[in-house]
Structure 1
Amino acid sequence: MEINTRHFLNYLAVERGLAQNTISSYALDLKQFKNFCRRRQVSKAGEITRNVVLNYILELKKSGRSSATIARHMAALKAFCRFLVDEQVLGSDPMANLESPGLPKKLPGVLAQEEVQKLLEQPRVGNPGGLRDKAMLELMYATGMRVSELLTLDLDQVDCEHGYVRCLGKGSKERIIPVGSVARNFLSEYLRWGRAKIKANKGEKALFLNMRGNRLTRQGFWKIIKKYARQAGIAREITPHTLRHSFATHLLENGADLRALQEMLGHADITTTQIYTHLTENKLRETYDKHHPRA
């Protein structure tokens, strides 16, 4: 009998609320693992041992897979094995204490505070599109939301009077993020007259609209931020998440608590948040080298 992953994939969708793309990726990686098990005459999930897992990882390495690919396969297998232990199919976790191959930490691109200021000064707020862009960019820098979270905001998720947004993050987990006075003021103006001038299509609940009255897309946002970066004379590469990364780094530079930042960013694991400490450490080093007389 073949190892069955159907219940596990259903658990990821229903219980953990993972995106379909993530579930599909898990399914493909586990299919490869099942093929390996079939060749090794391992036919039942209860027969998955640490030795089976180690041999599988060794096969991946011998086939020339990159560290990133191996780490992804191991993440899928770890989740599957934890599920099997919880379901009492396995008595112990064969993946326990198995480390993924070391991956270089990719530090995100971050703008200096002066560059953010220049970027946010670019939209012309005298017309509906410019006011929308101003409100959108100010809100993203004020909250550190992911681009996908920003663009899926509906009207009822924003409270300008009390200064917060209700955001649906990864795994459909809701969090409440405070909004500063500057972003709140421009957002109020956009809601007061800018959005109405764009003329939303009937029944459209989206907060940020394109000029055809539909929800603004990620591609649309990408074009907008690239345009304003070019106008601001910012030569470095800009990504849709640049303002999110800048938000996190600037908060840490000004003394924010790492746990509080983790909550605002919606990170499930604080180790994800800790990547920003590398950026602030680099900044401190630069400051020390520049200003200390014996650096």
Structure 2
Amino acid sequence: MCATPLDRCRDEYLGHLSVERGLSRNTLDAYRRDLGCYLGYLAERGVVDARDVTRRDIEGFVAERREAGYAASSVNRELSAIKGFHRFMLREGLSETQPASSVRFSRTEERLPDCLSVEAAAALMEQPFGRDATGARDRAVLEVLYGCGVRASELTGLDVGDVFLDEGFLRVVGKGSKERLVPVLGAAARALSAYLDGPRAELAAHARRGA
């Protein structure tokens, strides 16, 4: 079967993620699988060129995945890959539009550790945070733990290169060194962005001076 224009765009995007973003093989394989499902859906409907993709096509794919019983987190991961793919094509001049930009992520159930009640979690989130860099860090930590359902060990292992706020996900390494993509949305995304935009560098500089 001959490669379609969208197939070739996907290959360019994966190359970009490998070279420019330095993503691991496991993460690239996840992107390849997710985009493969998406492009297969489009091909079945006769859409093989980036210029022909519409928002309705993307919403149709998302709806089909939900109806097939996929978890909201899995559908959000796929949609993150789709959004990044279309953003890349627009930036590289491979497409003239970004049809995925206004497609909304699914709401995911907030997951909390079994030992922490909803009331206790709410009390943590409602506490006053300082207006300094430390306060921004603490808010980001709690928002991500609460809103993304990651383990504390996964959060502490995050590096800046694992944060993809534009695409709406984090790359985390769990037990057995297994990588997965976790959607980061809403308050968690805002708190993390606010921390990375200044306070993180301030705390790092302070740590170097104290070393």
Separation in 1, partners of 2:101, 2:12 = 22
Q: CA deviation at 1:148?
A: 5.0
Q: Which residue of 1 aligns with 2:101?
A: 96
Q: 1:147 to 1:109 in 2, by over 3 A?
A: farther
Q: Is the 8 A contact 1:74 1:100 kept in 2?
A: yes
Contact 1:145 1:265 in 2 (8 A): no
Alpha-carbon distance change, 72 to 56 in structure 1, aligned in 2, over 3 angstroms: same
Normalising by structure 1, we get a TM-score of 0.39
Cα deviation, residue 45, structure 1: 2.2
Q: Is structure 2 residue 31 aligned with structure 1 residue 41?
A: no
Counterpart among 16, 19, 27 of residue 14 in structure 1: 19
| Counterpart residue number, 1:171 | 161
1:42 alignment partner, SS class: coil
Per-residue CA deviations over 1:206-246 (Å, capped at 9, x if unaligned) read: xxxxxxxxxxxx989xxxxxxxxxxxxxxxxxxxxxxxxxx
Q: Post-superposition shift, 1:59?
A: 1.1
Cα-to-partner distance string for 1:168-202 (whole Å, 9 max, x where unaligned): x35389xxxxxxxxxxxxxxxxxxxxxxxxxxxxx
CA contact (8 A) 2:55 2:103 kept: no
Identity %: 24
> Where does 1:12-161 land on structure 2 (aligned, <5 Å)?
12-107=17-112
Given that 2:51 and 2:97 are in contact with CA atoms closer than 8 Å, whether structure 1 keeps it comes out as no
Q: Offset of 1:106 from its aligned partner?
A: 3.1
1:46, distance to aligned residue in structure 2 (A):
2.2
Q: Deviations over 1:94-121 (max 9, x none)?
A: 111222100123346899xxxxxxxxxx
DSSP 3-state at the match of 1:58? helix
**Partner Cα separation in structure 2 for residue 50 and residue 219 of structure 1:** 37
C-alpha root-mean-square deviation of aligned residues, in Å?
A: 3.6
TM-score (ref. length: structure 2): 0.53
**Alpha-carbon offset, residue 261 of structure 1:** 6.2
TM superposition shift of 1:80: 0.3
Distance 2:103 2:24 in 1: 26
Deviation at 1:39, TM superposition (A): 0.6
Displacement after TM superposition at 1:65 (Å): 1.1
Partners of 2:112 and 2:58 in 1: how far apart? 31
- Any idea what SS the aligned residue of 1:104 has? coil
Please identify the structure whose Cα radius of gyration is greater: 1
Classify 1:103/1:265 alpha carbon distance in 2 versus 1 (closer, same or farther; 3 Å). Answer: farther
Q: Which runs of 5+ in 1 are unaligned?
A: 112-143, 150-168, 174-217, 221-256, 267-295
Structure 1 105/35 Cα, relative in aligned 2: closer, same or farther at 3 Å?
Answer: same
User: How many positions carry a matched residue from both structures?
Assistant: 135
1:202 corresponds in structure 2 to none
User: Is the 8 Å Cα contact of residues 84 and 90 (structure 1) preserved in structure 2?
Assistant: yes
